[in-house]
Amino acid sequence: MKLLIATRNAHKLEEIRAILAVPGLELLGAMDIPGLPDVVEDGQTFPANAVKKAVTVAMASKLWTLADDSGLEVDALGGAPGVCSARYAGEPCDTAANNAKLLKELSGQTVRTARFRCVLALAMPAGRAQIVEGVCEGTILDAPRGTNGFGYDPLFVPRNHSETFAEMEAALKNRISHRAKALCAARETWGEIFEKNLSEWPQRPARRTRTPAG
């Protein structure tokens, strides 16, 4: 079965391929399918953005499509940057500027709890979608550490660990990250689709999912 991952982010695609390794499942990136539309992620929530992207790309490509929306939620900032994580410091996306703004906003804060959240949406070519999600709790440092990973990884230390995501080996991050947890939920929930190349949702109602209206 061919499954299109609706991203042109090479780092994200590499993580997904490492975690979602299902026999017989061929994972394609958006860069592998010419002419796909650029989807404006203007939803107010992670599920809204993930579903919009998955459905739009699935209907355009005629392939089952997996899309995600993910970001960082910081308690002291009321959940910001949230859905604005990628462009927290403005357009265009600038990781260094995003991290600098986050540190500035948290200056003087003693409560630095936060979480990475990932919502995955799977859409069939006809446009129906379901979602699963994963969360990784942790804290934000007052200075970056590490050179691996991407985004806010140098500032985020997962709960019960001492290294940032950017200091960890990829194998460890891919076991505990928000995206890893969401992808594990995806394998559990949609494994029958991936393994049997189904053209519809399984007859048995999928667990831990929600089907958006329409």
pLDDT in tens, 56-111: 999 999 999 999 999 999 999 999 999 999 999 998 889 999 999 999 999 999 99
Q: What is the pLDDT of residue 155?
A: 98
The C-alpha atoms of residue 122 and residue 66 are separated, in whole angstroms, by: 5
The C-alpha atoms of residue 65 and residue 74 are separated, in whole angstroms, by: 30
Average pLDDT over residues 152-181: 95
Average pLDDT over residues 129-149: 96
Is 59 exposed, middle or buried, given 0-12, 13-18 or 19+ CB atoms closer than 10 A?
A: middle
DSSP bridge pairs for 123: 65, 129
pLDDT interval class at 20 (50, 70, 90): confident
CATH number of 2-196: 3.90.950.10
Q: What angle do CA 103, 139, 79 make, to 5 degrees?
A: 70
Q: What is the pLDDT of residue 121?
A: 98
The answer to whether residue 212 scores a pLDDT higher than 60 is: no
pTM for this entry: 0.88
pLDDT interval class at 214 (50, 70, 90): very low
Q: What is the pLDDT of residue 52?
A: 97
The answer to whether residue 211 scores a pLDDT higher than 70 is: no
| Phi–psi pair at 141, nearest 5 degrees | -75, 175
The C-alpha atoms of residue 138 and residue 160 are separated, in whole angstroms, by: 8
Amino acid at 192: E
Could you list the beta-strand ranges (E) of 30-175.
Answer: 65-74, 113-123, 129-140, 156-158
The answer to whether residue 10 scores a pLDDT higher than 70 is: yes
Average pLDDT over residues 188-214: 69
Percent of the chain with pLDDT over 90: 75
69 is catalytic: yes
The answer to whether residue 12 scores a pLDDT higher than 60 is: yes
Q: What is the pLDDT of residue 69?
A: 95
| Mean pLDDT value across the chain | 91
Find the catalytic residue in 32, 38, 42, 69: 69
Structure token digits, residue 95: 């990781």
Domain ranges of the chain: 2-196
